[in-house]
């Protein structure tokens, strides 16, 4: 295996896999983007054996009406021996759902996942997951936590203890056997999580944002130790699959990166990374790659993939064609802040650099960029954000004028807000129950998303003084007149 | 009845018996000897009980008022309560587990729990007793089982609810970890579900056992028409003492009762709470901890350790290996089968499920129809009387809640705001609260009647006696939970007293107050059955009310009236819960929650 791994290191280079036979239905919509030329290489000659193959897996939730909410559109995916695969994507792109389908934790709504060409549901896939929240049992000691999976397999106590202690030694937790997880720091707890995952000698090690609950330095340290274990073949694992929303982390670790788009989740691009380890964050090749991923994430998709049909032959409703836009969950204050920073950068800047300056991860930054874009305050092109005249005016104004600009932009661009305002005006008592809009949105979004959409709408509407919201009665009401008078006075 | 809010009481009074330094010296032999002594005592107790239970029932039990009889009586009472508790624990776990994992019957089971919690348990007393005596006509065990089952029905529901809600709130990733690491259902129960639910179960157990004393007092003095089902125990001792007006016997009885409750607290709950500390689902270690010398004794006894090493551990290992083997075999068997075969097997199970379901529905339907037949005998006047009684009891229950709130809120807030006062008042209040109200009923009724008050007003006081503690303890906890910076704000801006209460204290304690009032309201309804109807020295005192109607119907064996009155009472409690308490609870959760 080591030979193959090295081969892929030296000869294998990343490329967009639109035409690759392992990923047939891959609608990679990055046609406007040029992958940095010094990284475009020929197809890998030696194909390592495939461990996991997902065939047209999708996830959707049936609604009481004919619609269904598509979370992940039909997707093909493979994980081969000797590779670290990173799955990147904005929140809501179904990264974790995809991981759970690949491990067999969650059954796809349609399609099938194969382990060594056997359906994952019927056999025993030897996997382990490292969880974001560590998922350790607080009432078991460190060594008991590591032993628990072995106990489940009916291993002898003495052998069990021996292996657990050895694994704890490997991850650098020697001497902490009898401690309880709550006595450990976050980084040490995640080490226990790694030890528990590796002690079952998984063929594929899955990781669900394993470093995102840790501070930056601890995460960095754990990442490099993980790479060391992997490259020295200290662990018996054949492949690693890591879900992350940190682009740099993906580029640091992965041999292959898959970027997901959302609404519904789908693969946007899938390519190999052939930078030699240890990778240098400051190297131009590295930053170019990070920049490329940012571009993919921020560039709107030109052509939509063909919509799948439900078993009854009706087209699945795609959220992009739906009535309501998906409101990005950003706060007005965040939007103003972003625009001000953009103004300082002469009105135009690379999103990657913005994120770097702010020490933001994509999950933090993208919703704000999306919201500003939705309101017409900025435009995004090739990974560059450029402020529009209305955005510049917004950023330069004082608070009451800002609210007015926000109000105009919101009513003009956001259907849901427009509808709430109209509904309030149409009612004689000038108040509308939240329930009403909940039911309307419910047709289009999942339950959780509906609640989040309404939360964002309330947040924006209150800020813009479009309406008020009575939280105890759950009703939208007209804002008090007093404030309009005062804002009018200031205008004059 | 004690209702101890979380992190309360035990954290403050832990110095009293904590002489752990003495035990830390390794007196292994002494420790082993004392453990052996405890085992011997248990063994003797079982022998004693067996001899008594399988003896013929003595038709008329004479309750001896000699203090020398007290240890034996107390022993009988304790055994009843703990048997009922053990039954409750098993039932609660099975019920909660089934409800949490069977989506089809989950809603039904939870609604059932809600209703069963509100039904006045005491109405079942005659039915259960008669059934049990009929089952074991010549054995004492029938009567005993009747009492145990009755106490069980008073204890079990909150525990079942606690276990269910713990299962429902299990963190998703922990659950996924058990799946991905192939835990068997047994291992999942032992390593995830029970530990996660442990703290809730322990606190609810304490409430349940305290409530058990309340019902025990009634069960031990049960008389149905001419038949006397009295059981020897602490409750019957106290009641006999009160009705004969034997002052020194009353004092002895009360002393024994308080001693038992304090001992239970120290010898049972404190070690269990100290032990359950490791099940706290927390990320950071708390500084204050409950300690228990007894737990220390058990954990450091070499004899017990050796016993565990040679019995429990090998058995547990064998169980785990068995589960792992079964899983392998199951996998081997299912591997070649197609998805269709699996689906067929599922259908086979569902046919069996349907048969069981039909049988259960059939039995329930049959019993329900027969019960409804009973109702035909109810006359119109009787029906009106029951309705009138319901109104009267409704009035009494709410008056008692109001009166209880009037004194508990100011006192509770004062205790909560002043740590020094709390240190003195809390242990006293806990002991006062732990004496079951039913034990004091006979004494109080005698006193009140002699003072010239009718049972109408006396019953309000009696209801208060049982339920005010719920409000008091919750208000104390609420006042302690108000952040000190909010109190400083009130001080800084010179809030008037009215303003302080309106903007700070009442909203601050509101969620706790509601919790206390809900529990107190349920308790008051249940207490009305005993409070409104009282038999003492061959004469019956009663006042007009639903509780009195239920008790009178029990006494005279009029089951149709008993059934209707019980239905009316359960209906009223459930309706009030839905229409009044639930919206208030919701308000408390959404609007008045501190540090949301």
**Residue A472: CB atoms within 10 Å:** 9
Residue B543 lies in a domain: yes
Task: Flag whether pLDDT at A162 surpasses 90.
Answer: yes
**A468-470 and A204-208: which strand pairing?**
unpaired
| Domain region containing B312 | 290-320
Predicted local confidence at residue B310, as pLDDT: 76
Q: A206-235 pLDDT, tens per residue?
A: 999 999 888 888 888 899 989 988 998 888
The answer to whether B197 touches B162, Cβ cutoff 8 Å, is yes
Do the chains contact at B181 and A196, CB–CB below 8 Å? yes
Query: What residue spans of B376-501 are helical by DSSP H?
Result: 380-417, 419-434, 437-450, 455-481, 484-492, 497-499
Co-location of B513 and B467 in the same domain:
yes
Name which of A123, A124, A182 is nearest B282 (Cβ-Cβ). Answer: A182
Least Cα separation, residue B294 to chain A (angstroms):
21
Lowest-pLDDT choice from A4-8, B221-225, B492-496: A4-8
Predicted local confidence at residue A79, as pLDDT: 92
**3-class secondary structure, B8:** coil
**A378-381 and A348-350: which strand pairing?**
unpaired
Domain at A217, CATH number: 3.40.50.300
Strand partners, B15: none
**Please, is A481 exposed, middle or buried when counting C-beta atoms within 10 Å of its C-beta (0-12, 13-18, 19+)?**
exposed
Predicted local confidence at residue A44, as pLDDT: 46
Query: What tokens does A6 get?
Result: 């090295």
Alpha-carbon dihedral angle through residues A39, A45, A51, A56, given to the nearest 10 degrees: 70
Do the chains contact at A105 and B177, CB–CB below 8 Å? no
User: What would the mean pLDDT of B354-372 be, rounded to a whole number?
Assistant: 80
Predicted local confidence at residue A258, as pLDDT: 93
**3-class secondary structure, A34:** coil
Predicted local confidence at residue B282, as pLDDT: 62
Do the chains contact at A138 and B281, CB–CB below 8 Å? yes
Task: Flag whether pLDDT at B51 surpasses 70.
Answer: no
Co-location of B533 and B459 in the same domain:
yes
Co-location of B404 and B524 in the same domain:
yes
Number of domains in chain B: 4
Q: By CA distance, what is A147's nearest residue in B?
A: B181
Residue A358 lies in a domain: yes
* Interatomic CA distance for residues B474 and A306, integer angstroms: 60
Residue B313 banded pLDDT, cuts 50, 70, 90: confident
Task: Flag whether pLDDT at B390 surpasses 60.
Answer: yes
Average pLDDT, rounded, for chain A: 80
Report in angstroms the alpha-carbon separations of A382 from A32, A337, A348, A474. 8, 22, 12, 42
Q: Does A448 touch chain B (CB under 8 A)?
A: no
Residue B58 lies in a domain: no
Q: Does B584 touch chain A (CB under 8 A)?
A: no
Contacts of A3 (CB under 8 A, 6+ apart): none
DSSP letter (8 states) at residue A348 = E
Task: Specify the higher pLDDT residue, B334 or B87.
Answer: B87
**B223-224 and B539-542: which strand pairing?**
unpaired
Q: B104-116 pLDDT, tens per residue?
A: 778 778 777 777 7
What whole-number percentage of chain A has pLDDT above 70?
82
Least Cα separation, residue B564 to chain A (angstroms):
38
Task: Specify the higher pLDDT residue, A209 or A488.
Answer: A209
Query: What tokens does B578 get?
Result: 């839905």
Co-location of B368 and B387 in the same domain:
no
Predicted local confidence at residue A192, as pLDDT: 94
Query: What residue spans of B54-120 are helical by DSSP H?
Result: 70-101, 103-118
DSSP letter (8 states) at residue A330 = -
Name which of A133, A154, A472 is nearest B591 (Cβ-Cβ). Answer: A472
Residue A429 lies in a domain: yes
Co-location of B243 and B299 in the same domain:
no
Name which of A139, A180, A200 is nearest B181 (Cβ-Cβ). Answer: A200
User: What would the mean pLDDT of A107-120 be, rounded to a whole number?
Assistant: 87
Co-location of B390 and B470 in the same domain:
yes
Alpha-carbon dihedral angle through residues A222, A228, A234, A240, given to the nearest 10 degrees: 70
Residue A314 lies in a domain: no
Residue B400 lies in a domain: yes
Query: What residue spans of A81-204 are helical by DSSP H?
Result: 95-103, 142-152, 157-170, 186-198
Query: What tokens does B265 get?
Result: 């607290």
* Interatomic CA distance for residues B593 and B596, integer angstroms: 6
Residue B491 lies in a domain: yes
Lowest-pLDDT choice from A424-438, B80-94, B374-388: B374-388
Predicted local confidence at residue A458, as pLDDT: 92
Task: Flag whether pLDDT at B596 surpasses 60.
Answer: no
Do the chains contact at B180 and A152, CB–CB below 8 Å? no
**3-class secondary structure, A347:** coil
Predicted local confidence at residue A484, as pLDDT: 47
Task: Flag whether pLDDT at B88 surpasses 90.
Answer: yes
Query: What tokens does B350 get?
Result: 């569902």
Residue B312 banded pLDDT, cuts 50, 70, 90: confident
Task: Flag whether pLDDT at A113 surpasses 60.
Answer: yes
Co-location of A269 and A128 in the same domain:
yes
Report in angstroms the alpha-carbon separations of B95 from A136, B87, B285, B358. 27, 12, 32, 20
Do the chains contact at B324 and A153, CB–CB below 8 Å? yes
- From edge to edge, which strands make up the β-sheet containing A348-350? A348-350, A384-387, A378-381
Please, which residues 157-176 of chain A have a Cβ atom closer than 8 Å to chain B?
157
Residue B169 lies in a domain: yes
Co-location of A290 and A417 in the same domain:
no
Predicted local confidence at residue B17, as pLDDT: 28
Task: Flag whether pLDDT at A27 surpasses 50.
Answer: no
Residue A315 lies in a domain: no
Co-location of A201 and A349 in the same domain:
no
Q: B179-190 pLDDT, tens per residue?
A: 888 888 888 998
**3-class secondary structure, A117:** coil
**Residue A430: CB atoms within 10 Å:** 15
The answer to whether A298 touches A247, Cβ cutoff 8 Å, is no
Predicted local confidence at residue A317, as pLDDT: 47
Co-location of A131 and A176 in the same domain:
yes
Positive or negative: CA dihedral B413, B415, B420, B422: negative
**Residue B542: CB atoms within 10 Å:** 18
Predicted local confidence at residue B391, as pLDDT: 92
Co-location of B509 and B536 in the same domain:
yes
Strand partners, A381: A384
Name which of A133, A154, A183 is nearest B173 (Cβ-Cβ). Answer: A133
Domain endpoint, select from A247, A279, A298: A298
* Interatomic CA distance for residues B236 and B125, integer angstroms: 16
Positive or negative: CA dihedral A70, A76, A81, A85: negative
* Interatomic CA distance for residues A249 and A134, integer angstroms: 18
Task: Flag whether pLDDT at B26 surpasses 90.
Answer: no
Query: What residue spans of B137-184 are helical by DSSP H?
Result: 140-168, 172-180
Residues of A in contact with B334 (CB under 8 A): 122
Residues of B in contact with A472 (CB under 8 A): 587, 590-591
Predicted local confidence at residue A46, as pLDDT: 61
Task: Specify the higher pLDDT residue, B38 or A442.
Answer: A442
Q: Does B287 touch chain A (CB under 8 A)?
A: no
Predicted local confidence at residue B444, as pLDDT: 77
| CA B251 to centroid of chain Cα atoms | 26
- From edge to edge, which strands make up the β-sheet containing A475-477? A431-433, A475-477, A468-470
Co-location of A356 and A453 in the same domain:
yes
Predicted local confidence at residue A450, as pLDDT: 87
Q: Which ipTM did the prediction report?
A: 0.73
User: What would the mean pLDDT of A141-150 be, rounded to a whole number?
Assistant: 92
Q: By CA distance, what is A474's nearest residue in B?
A: B590
Query: What tokens does A268 get?
Result: 């946007």
Co-location of A266 and A337 in the same domain:
no
Predicted local confidence at residue B8, as pLDDT: 37
Co-location of A291 and A434 in the same domain:
no
Predicted local confidence at residue B378, as pLDDT: 77
Domain at B419, CATH number: 1.10.3720.10
Residue B398 lies in a domain: yes
A vs B, Cβ pairs < 8 A, gives 86
Strand partners, A207: A130, A242
Residue A83 banded pLDDT, cuts 50, 70, 90: very high
Residue A311 lies in a domain: no
Do the chains contact at B176 and A140, CB–CB below 8 Å? no
Task: Specify the higher pLDDT residue, A145 or A277.
Answer: A145
Residue A300 banded pLDDT, cuts 50, 70, 90: low
Alpha-carbon dihedral angle through residues B487, B488, B491, B495, given to the nearest 10 degrees: -50
Co-location of A174 and A273 in the same domain:
yes
Co-location of A251 and A180 in the same domain:
yes
Do the chains contact at B183 and A152, CB–CB below 8 Å? yes
Task: Flag whether pLDDT at B86 surpasses 90.
Answer: yes
Query: What tokens does A439 get?
Result: 């039911």
Strand partners, A432: A476
The answer to whether A243 touches A95, Cβ cutoff 8 Å, is yes
Residues of B in contact with A200 (CB under 8 A): 181
Q: B426-461 pLDDT, tens per residue?
A: 777 777 777 777 777 777 777 777 776 677 778 888
Q: What DSSP string describes A190-226?
A: HHHHHHHHHTT--SEEEEESTTTTS-HHHHHHHHHHH
Q: Does B87 touch chain A (CB under 8 A)?
A: no
DSSP letter (8 states) at residue B58 = P
DSSP letter (8 states) at residue A80 = E
User: What would the mean pLDDT of A456-465 be, rounded to a whole number?
Assistant: 91
**3-class secondary structure, B119:** coil
Show the beta-strand stretches assigned E in B466-567.
533-536, 539-542
Task: Specify the higher pLDDT residue, A374 or B437.
Answer: A374
Angle between helices A415-426 and A434-442 (to 10 degrees): 140
Q: Is the bond into A264 cis (omega within 30 degrees of 0)? A: yes
| CA B148 to centroid of chain Cα atoms | 13
Co-location of B248 and B309 in the same domain:
no
Co-location of A375 and A418 in the same domain:
yes
Residue B246 banded pLDDT, cuts 50, 70, 90: confident
Do the chains contact at B590 and A471, CB–CB below 8 Å? yes
Please, which residues 90-149 of chain A have a Cβ atom closer than 8 Å to chain B?
100, 103, 105, 119, 121-124, 127-129, 131-133, 135, 137-140, 148-149
Co-location of B111 and B159 in the same domain:
yes
Co-location of B364 and B246 in the same domain:
no
Q: Does B587 touch chain A (CB under 8 A)?
A: yes
| Domain region containing A293 | 2-298
Co-location of A113 and A54 in the same domain:
yes
Task: Flag whether pLDDT at B89 surpasses 90.
Answer: yes
Predicted local confidence at residue B410, as pLDDT: 93
Co-location of A248 and A105 in the same domain:
yes
Task: Flag whether pLDDT at B76 surpasses 80.
Answer: yes
Residue B206 lies in a domain: yes
Co-location of B297 and B371 in the same domain:
no
Residue A98 lies in a domain: yes
Per 3-state DSSP, what percentage of chain A is helix, strand, and coil (rounded to 5)?
40, 20, 40
The answer to whether A215 touches A188, Cβ cutoff 8 Å, is no
Residue A134 lies in a domain: yes
Show the beta-strand stretches assigned E in B291-398.
none
Report in angstroms the alpha-carbon separations of B157 from A126, A209, B87, B188, B376. 42, 40, 12, 24, 31
Please, which residues 312-341 of chain B have a Cβ atom closer than 8 Å to chain A?
313, 317, 320-325, 331, 334-335, 337, 339
* Interatomic CA distance for residues A77 and A54, integer angstroms: 5
Q: Does B180 touch chain A (CB under 8 A)?
A: yes
Task: Specify the higher pLDDT residue, A189 or B557.
Answer: A189
Alpha-carbon dihedral angle through residues B203, B205, B207, B213, given to the nearest 10 degrees: -160
Residues of A in contact with B275 (CB under 8 A): none
A39-48, A338-347, B61-70 — most confident range? A338-347
Residues of A in contact with B320 (CB under 8 A): 151-152, 154
Q: Which of B166, B170, B171, B181 to mutate to probe the A interface, most A CBs <10 Å?
A: B181
**Residue B228: CB atoms within 10 Å:** 12
The answer to whether B127 touches B176, Cβ cutoff 8 Å, is no
Task: Specify the higher pLDDT residue, B80 or B28.
Answer: B80
Q: What DSSP string describes A249-307?
A: HHHHH-SEEEEEETTTBEEEEEEE--PPSSP-TTSHHHHHHHHHHHHHHHSPPSSPPPP
Number of domains in chain A: 2
Residue B19 lies in a domain: no
Query: What tokens does B542 get?
Result: 């009663």
Residue A327 lies in a domain: no
Residue B121 banded pLDDT, cuts 50, 70, 90: confident
Task: Flag whether pLDDT at A309 surpasses 50.
Answer: no
Task: Flag whether pLDDT at A182 surpasses 80.
Answer: yes
């Amino acid at each position: 295996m080591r030979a193959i791994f090295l081969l892929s290191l030296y000869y294998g280079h990343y490329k967009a896999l639109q035409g690759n036979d392992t990923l047939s239905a891959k609608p990679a919509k990055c046609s406007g983007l040029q992958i940095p030329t010094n990284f475009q290489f020929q197809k890998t000659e030696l194909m390592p054996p495939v461990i996991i193959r997902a065939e047209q897996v999708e996830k959707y939730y049936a609604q009481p009406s004919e619609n269904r909410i598509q979370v992940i559109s039909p997707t093909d995916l493979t994980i081969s021996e000797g590779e670290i695969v990173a799955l990147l994507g904005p929140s809501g792109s179904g990264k974790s759902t995809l991981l759970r389908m690949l491990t067999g934790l969650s059954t796809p709504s349609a399609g099938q996942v194969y382990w060594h060409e056997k359906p994952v549901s019927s056999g025993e896939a030897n996997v382990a997951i490292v969880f974001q929240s560590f998922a350790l049992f607080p009432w078991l000691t460190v060594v008991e936590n590591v032993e628990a999976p072995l106990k489940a397999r009916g291993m002898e106590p003495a052998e069990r203890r021996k292996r657990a202690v050895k694994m704890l030694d490997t991850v650098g937790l020697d001497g902490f056997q009898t401690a309880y997880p709550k006595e450990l720091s976050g980084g040490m707890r995640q080490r226990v999580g790694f030890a528990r995952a590796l002690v079952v000698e998984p063929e594929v090690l899955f990781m669900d944002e394993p470093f995102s609950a840790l501070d930056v330095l601890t995460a960095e340290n754990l990442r490099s130790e993980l790479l060391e274990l992997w490259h020295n073949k200290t662990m018996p694992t054949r492949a690693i699959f890591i879900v992350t929303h940190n682009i740099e982390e993906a580029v640091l670790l992965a041999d292959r990166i898959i970027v997901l788009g959302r609404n519904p989740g789908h693969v946007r691009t899938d390519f190999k990374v052939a930078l030699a380890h240890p990778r240098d964050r400051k190297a131009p090749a590295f930053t170019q790659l990070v920049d490329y991923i940012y571009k993919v994430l921020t560039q709107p998709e030109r052509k939509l993939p063909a919509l799948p049909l439900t078993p009854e032959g009706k087209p699945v409703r795609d959220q992009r064609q739906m009535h309501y836009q998906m409101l990005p969950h950003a706060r007005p204050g965040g939007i103003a802040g972003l625009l001000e920073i953009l103004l300082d950068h002469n009105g135009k800047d690379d999103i990657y650099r913005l994120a770097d300056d702010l020490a933001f991860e994509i999950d933090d930054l993208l919703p704000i960029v999306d919201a500003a874009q939705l309101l017409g305050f900025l435009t995004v092109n090739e990974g560059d954000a450029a402020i529009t005249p209305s955005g510049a005016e917004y950023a330069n104004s004082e608070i009451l004028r800002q609210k007015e600009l926000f109000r105009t932009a919101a009513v003009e661009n956001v259907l849901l807000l427009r509808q709430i305002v109209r509904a309030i005006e149409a009612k004689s008592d000038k108040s509308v129950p939240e329930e009403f809009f909940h039911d309307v949105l419910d047709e289009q979004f999942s339950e959780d998303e509906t609640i989040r959409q309404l939360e964002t709408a309330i947040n924006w509407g209150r800020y813009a003084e479009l309406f008020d919201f009575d939280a105890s009665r759950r009703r939208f009401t007209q804002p008090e007149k007093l404030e309009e008078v005062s804002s009018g006075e200031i205008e004059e | 009845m004690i209702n101890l809010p979380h992190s309360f009481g035990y954290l403050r009074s832990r110095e009293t018996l904590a002489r752990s330094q003495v035990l830390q010296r390794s007196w292994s032999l002494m420790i082993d000897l004392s453990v052996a002594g405890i085992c011997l005592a248990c063994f003797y107790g079982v022998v004693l009980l067996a001899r008594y239970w399988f003896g013929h029932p003595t038709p008329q039990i004479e309750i001896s008022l000699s203090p020398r009889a007290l240890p034996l009586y107390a022993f009988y009472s304790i055994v009843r309560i703990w048997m009922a508790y053990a039954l409750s624990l098993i039932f609660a776990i099975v019920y909660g587990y089934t409800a949490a994992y069977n989506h089809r019957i989950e809603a039904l089971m939870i609604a059932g729990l809600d209703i069963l919690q509100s039904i006045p348990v005491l109405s079942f007393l005659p039915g259960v007793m008669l059934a049990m005596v009929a089952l074991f006509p010549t054995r004492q065990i029938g009567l005993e089982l009747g009492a145990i089952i009755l106490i069980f029905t008073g204890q079990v529901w909150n525990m079942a609810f606690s276990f269910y809600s713990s299962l429902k709130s299990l963190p998703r990733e922990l659950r996924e970890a058990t799946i991905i690491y192939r835990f068997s259902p047994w291992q999942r129960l032992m390593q995830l579900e029970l530990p996660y639910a442990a703290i809730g179960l322990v606190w609810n157990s304490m409430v349940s056992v305290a409530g058990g004393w309340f019902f025990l007092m009634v069960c031990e003095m049960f008389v149905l028409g001419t038949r006397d089902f009295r059981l020897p125990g602490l409750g019957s001792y106290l009641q006999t003492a009160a009705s004969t007006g034997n002052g020194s016997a009353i004092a002895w009885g009360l002393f024994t009762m308080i001693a038992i409750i304090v001992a239970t607290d120290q010898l049972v709950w404190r070690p269990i709470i100290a032990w359950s500390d490791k099940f706290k689902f927390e990320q950071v270690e708390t500084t204050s901890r409950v300690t228990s010398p007894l737990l220390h004794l058990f954990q450091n006894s070499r004899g017990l350790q050796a016993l565990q090493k040679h019995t429990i551990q090998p058995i547990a290992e064998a169980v785990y290996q068995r589960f792992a083997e079964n899983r392998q075999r199951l996998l081997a068997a299912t591997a070649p089968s197609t998805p269709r075969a699996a689906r067929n097997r599922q259908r086979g199970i569902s046919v069996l499920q349907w048969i069981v379901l039909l049988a259960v529905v059939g039995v329930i339907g049959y019993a329900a129809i027969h019960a409804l037949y009973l109702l035909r005998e109810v006359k119109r006047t009787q029906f009106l009387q029951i309705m009138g009684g319901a109104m009267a009891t409704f009035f009494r229950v709410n008056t008692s809640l109001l009166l209880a709130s009037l004194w508990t809120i100011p006192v509770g807030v004062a205790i909560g705001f002043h740590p020094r006062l709390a240190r003195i008042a809390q242990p006293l209040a806990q002991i006062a609260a732990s004496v079951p109200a039913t034990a004091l009923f006979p004494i109080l009724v005698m006193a009140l009647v002699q003072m010239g008050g009718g049972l109408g007003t006396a019953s309000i006081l009696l209801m208060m006696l049982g339920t005010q503690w719920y409000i008091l303890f919750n208000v104390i906890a609420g006042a302690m939970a108000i952040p000190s910076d909010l109190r400083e704000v009130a001080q800084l801006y010179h809030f008037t007293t009215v303003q302080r209460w309106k903007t700070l204290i009442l909203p601050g304690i509101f969620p706790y107050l509601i919790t206390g009032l809900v529990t107190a309201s349920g308790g008051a309804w249940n207490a009305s059955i005993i409070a409104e109807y009282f038999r003492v020295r061959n004469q019956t005192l009663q006042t007009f009310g639903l509780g009195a109607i239920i008790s009178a119907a029990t006494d005279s064996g009029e089951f149709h009236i008993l059934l209707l009155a019980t239905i009316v009472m359960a209906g009223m409690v459930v309706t009030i819960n839905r229409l009044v308490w639930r919206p208030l609870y919701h308000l408390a959760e959404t609007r008045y929650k501190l540090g949301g």
